[in-house]
Structure 1
Amino acid sequence: MTVLGLWTPVDNSPTALAISQAPWLESASVVLTTDLATADAIVAVFDHSPDAGQLEQLKSLAGNRPVLVAGAALAMSHARELHDYVGISISETVPALHDVRLRRGPALDPRGEGDLIVKSAWPIVDKIADDVEILATANVAFQDYAVITWRPTTAVGMFSLTSASELWSDRDITRTIQRWARYVRGITEASPVRVGLLAYGAIGHEHLSACLAVPGLELVAICDKSQARLDAALADAPQAMTTTDGNEMLNSDDIDLVIVSTPPDTHAMWALRALEAGKNVVMEKPMALTSNECDAVLDIARTVGRTALVYQNRRWDSDFLTMKKAVDAGRIGEMFHLETFVGGFGHPCNYWHSDASISGGAI
């Protein structure tokens, strides 16, 4: 988790407000704070040209923490002291918001996710100090211009894209800022987590799609007793190794994490085997059929120093989050009874889901 301090010398800064309301902070492993003493790095927002006193105040508050300067003042030609601080000079500003191709270097795109398309405008940087490192550029008239920088000698960087609310609502922009904060503190990205899918049933395709879509995950193996299901999986992940033998997958040195999506009465068994084989484990819900099985999985995970967790996707659905916010805010008073129903007019399921000895029964 990266703790970013948010600072601005004035009240009611629209850019600071947009940053504070960015919807993807948690998913990008970012926590915002106004207590700069607890921050890993600081985002300093200047919507107006600062005076020397405001810059000195920022430097004093920041101490040795890295500072990323953002805000409209970067595009103001008369903000000379701010430009000198970050190590640039500007000639003009791209005047209108339009689609921009943001080209991130390896420091901000370590996994090769590619360019970002965002709607923004930015100052044209025509000179850069020798000690400034360019981390990302935007292109105008076939020429790249610096828009994200880092200056180690003064521990300051620049984020010059105009900070409209829709820009800070972009998930990849939030992740880029988080990566900036890690890079400037010398933290490198970990190697991709190599994933094996244990069972490719009704939920298998969802796990496969997530592994392919999430940066940092690499799907390397799929196991199922049905060759037809494996063939279906290979259509979307042709690079994956397939097997009908679960133990073969667990014994592979090429796998870091196993997703257990077998029927619930076997969740604990396969999770225990995976943990004992040195793998981290994500278990489909329910975790197991008894509390003793759950405790056994957690005990082994602690013993071998691996992670075991349950895939609780519904907790992030908008209806669940809305109900949780209402309860937490006390809007419905003290809750003492809950009734809930999910279903339709047909039989809920004619497969093992309706067999309590396998599924554990409905809640």
Structure 2
Amino acid sequence: MPRIHLVSNLPGASALGDHLRGAGLGPTSARSADALLVLIDRPLDSGEQDVLDRARQSVPVLLAGPTLRSLPPDSPLVEASGLVPGRVTPVHELWLLPGPDGAEFTTRIGDFRPVDQWVVPDKLADDVEQLLMVRHELAVHPVCTWRPSTGLGMLTLGSGDRTLADPAYHRLIGRWLRHALGVRDAPPVRVGLLGTAESAAFHHMAVDVTEGLEMAAICDGASRPPGRAGDRAARRIVNPADLVGDPEIDLMIVATPTHTHTEWAMRALEADKHVVIEHPFCLSTREADDLIAAASERGLVLVVHPDQRDDLGYRALHDALRAGAVGDVLWLETFQGGFARPAGTWHDDARVSGGVVYDRGFAHLDWILDLLTEPVEWVSATAHKRVWHHVSNADHTRILLHFAGGAEAQITISDLAAAQMPRFHVVGTTGSVVSEIPAEPVVPGPRSGRHAERVLGASAGQLNLVAGNGSRTRLPLPPPPVTSVFHNQLADLLVSGWPMQHTVEVARRVVAVMEAATQSVATGGAPVTPV
């Protein structure tokens, strides 16, 4: 994989360097680099200029962020870029567009909307490739370019720490490197989907709109034609074993009832197929470790679909806590539920779903472990079975996590909560964040499965940041994702080699906590240390 040498004096560039290193792109020494990336907000010193002059003789060079406007107007780099810089815009939100030469460059870019400033070019040479554009004052201007004749590119985004820390920006850097070196994506990955009709429909829609993934075959027990009519009609397979053994399938999505995840995922790995498993992954750390080892031994991809990482409330809370909005987090609480009779599907059967902790707790635990990164010292959980005796899952469950630094987190999942609780409640050393409880009660009717919870989440109230003096500030919710972030990243991994943010090791940590919580329930709430 090609590697970048990074030259920067910006404090925020450390996050970019860490991400490039994790992606196998560098940073590396100037002598062994395949490309040079420069991110500075001052004129080049003599040593940096020497490195850049030598690098330009043999490798592509990308000037990013404030570099262009930090160069003197007569710099040979400005001339080599083919771009005459004009004025610098104020910081504002940018909506990015594919450039005339950027169709593959912008594939799976998603809805990245950086809040940044950029340089409006006064003039552009005819031989400059325009990869990424911004609409500004009734015109469309390039913010990312590449000039093959001089081996030099410009990316005028990346001035602030927020942009430099954004994984979407890191991916743009990687995409520019691949474009400059002439590296193209691998052919689309052919997908086989094994699951229930409900889960299959969700994944089918996501795969169908994701460049780099191609739905080849479906086994979901349904008799109707798969999906909508279109160019990518998938074959329907009746026997799951035939799907696993299909030589035309590269990747298998396992979205079956939870107690069968391990069996079908292992069979797919043994058939040399990459595997995506629907959350909650599996029912024990032993199963998780066996699957991870099997994938590693064969050099195959194994990932878990986290489902609610794109939840708007969670994303707003994540951004606020990362920005230090409440200081150090001491207490984090989440809630899901209402007073609702379970529908009686396999999700409500403890033998099949693993119980409430696994079936409905994964997303909450995934959120908490992402927000509170210290080791979990112990888990305590209790469950009550009092009302809904037509199903075996608990009616009301409470999970408490204690972290090494002293912070604690609690999850309440209830089908007996006639009065709604805040969906999120965070207590920090300088403030709190709390969800508003909707004025009108949420009446969902019988629960019909995991994906139905997305609808409940969307109506669970805005988030307010409460300061020590009692003042309240409503946190802005991010825009809904245009496409599935997970499936875009999955395609990036398989056809471009770019790592996913939500790895199987992250999911394994969640499984360890769920396993500990289940053991705690069995002992009446005694603390259990995850393994």
TM-score (norm 2): 0.49
Counterpart-to-counterpart distance in 1, 2:119 and 2:45: 20
Q: Matched residue of 2:374: which SS?
A: helix
Distance 1:23 1:257, change over 3 A: same
Which of the numbers 101, 106, 124 marks the counterpart of 1:109?
106
Tell me, yes or no, if structure 1 residue 307 matches structure 2 residue 300.
yes
Which of the numbers 99, 119, 122 marks the counterpart of 1:123?
119
**For the Cα contact (< 8 Å) 2:30–2:51, is it kept in 1?**
no
Report the residue type matching 2:213 in the other structure: L
Instruction: Tell me the residue number matched to 2:7.
Output: 7
Instruction: Tell me the residue number matched to 1:356.
Output: none
After TM superposition, the structure 1 stretch with the greater mean CA deviation from structure 2, 90-99 or 30-39, is 30-39
Distance 1:265 1:53, change over 3 A: closer
Which of the numbers 239, 247, 260 marks the counterpart of 1:245?
239
Q: Matched residue of 2:97: which SS?
A: strand
* RMSD (Å) for aligned C-alpha atoms: 4.9
The Cα of 1:258 is off from its aligned counterpart by: 0.9
**For the Cα contact (< 8 Å) 2:107–2:211, is it kept in 1?**
no
Instruction: Tell me the residue number matched to 2:464.
Output: none
The Cα of 1:81 is off from its aligned counterpart by: 0.6
Q: Matched residue of 2:249: which SS?
A: coil
Aligned pair count reads 336
Which of the numbers 255, 273, 276 marks the counterpart of 2:249?
255
Instruction: Tell me the residue number matched to 1:330.
Output: none
**For the Cα contact (< 8 Å) 1:196–1:257, is it kept in 2?**
yes
Which of the numbers 346, 366, 374 marks the counterpart of 1:326?
374
TM-score (norm 1): 0.68
Distance 1:137 1:277, change over 3 A: same
User: Percent identity at matched positions?
Assistant: 28
Tell me, yes or no, if structure 1 residue 188 matches structure 2 residue 237.
no
Instruction: Tell me the residue number matched to 2:212.
Output: 216
Counterpart-to-counterpart distance in 1, 2:144 and 2:236: 42
Counterpart-to-counterpart distance in 2, 1:290 and 1:73: 48
Distance 1:72 1:351, change over 3 A: same
The Cα of 1:318 is off from its aligned counterpart by: 4.3
Tell me, yes or no, if structure 1 residue 56 matches structure 2 residue 53.
no
Report the residue type matching 1:166 in the other structure: R
Which of the numbers 116, 129, 133 marks the counterpart of 1:137?
133
Instruction: Map 1:137-286 to 2 at 5 A.
Output: 137-161=133-157, 163-200=159-196, 207=203, 211=207, 216-225=212-221, 234=227, 240-250=234-244, 252=246, 254-263=248-257, 266-267=260-261, 269-271=263-265, 273-275=267-269, 279-283=273-277
Summarize deviations over 1:46-92 as a string: whole Å, max 9, x none.
31233666422333467734321123242368432154364234252
Counterpart-to-counterpart distance in 2, 1:110 and 1:150: 17
Instruction: Tell me the residue number matched to 1:331.
Output: none
Counterpart-to-counterpart distance in 2, 1:300 and 1:91: 49
Which of the numbers 66, 69, 74 marks the counterpart of 1:72?
66
Summarize deviations over 1:131-182 as a string: whole Å, max 9, x none.
5433223334444333212233443211123522333344433222211111
**For the Cα contact (< 8 Å) 1:100–1:117, is it kept in 2?**
yes
The Cα of 1:44 is off from its aligned counterpart by: 0.5
Counterpart-to-counterpart distance in 1, 2:143 and 2:45: 23
Summarize deviations over 1:19-58 as a string: whole Å, max 9, x none.
3235994799466536445654332113123366642233
Counterpart-to-counterpart distance in 2, 1:72 and 1:271: 47
Report the residue type matching 1:66 in the other structure: P
Distance 1:4 1:200, change over 3 A: farther
Instruction: Tell me the residue number matched to 1:357.
Output: none
**For the Cα contact (< 8 Å) 2:68–2:78, is it kept in 1?**
no
Summarize deviations over 1:90-144 as a string: whole Å, max 9, x none.
2521432334343331241246x67864434332323445654332233344443
Identify unmatched segments of 5+ residues in structure 1.
328-334, 354-359
Report the residue type matching 1:182 in the other structure: R
**For the Cα contact (< 8 Å) 2:197–2:221, is it kept in 1?**
no
Instruction: Map 1:34-53 to 2 at 5 A.
Output: 35-37=29-31, 39-50=33-44
Counterpart-to-counterpart distance in 1, 2:287 and 2:166: 43
Report the residue type matching 2:374 in the other structure: A
Counterpart-to-counterpart distance in 1, 2:134 and 2:260: 52
Distance 1:342 1:147, change over 3 A: farther
Q: Matched residue of 1:108: which SS?
A: coil
**For the Cα contact (< 8 Å) 1:212–1:218, is it kept in 2?**
yes
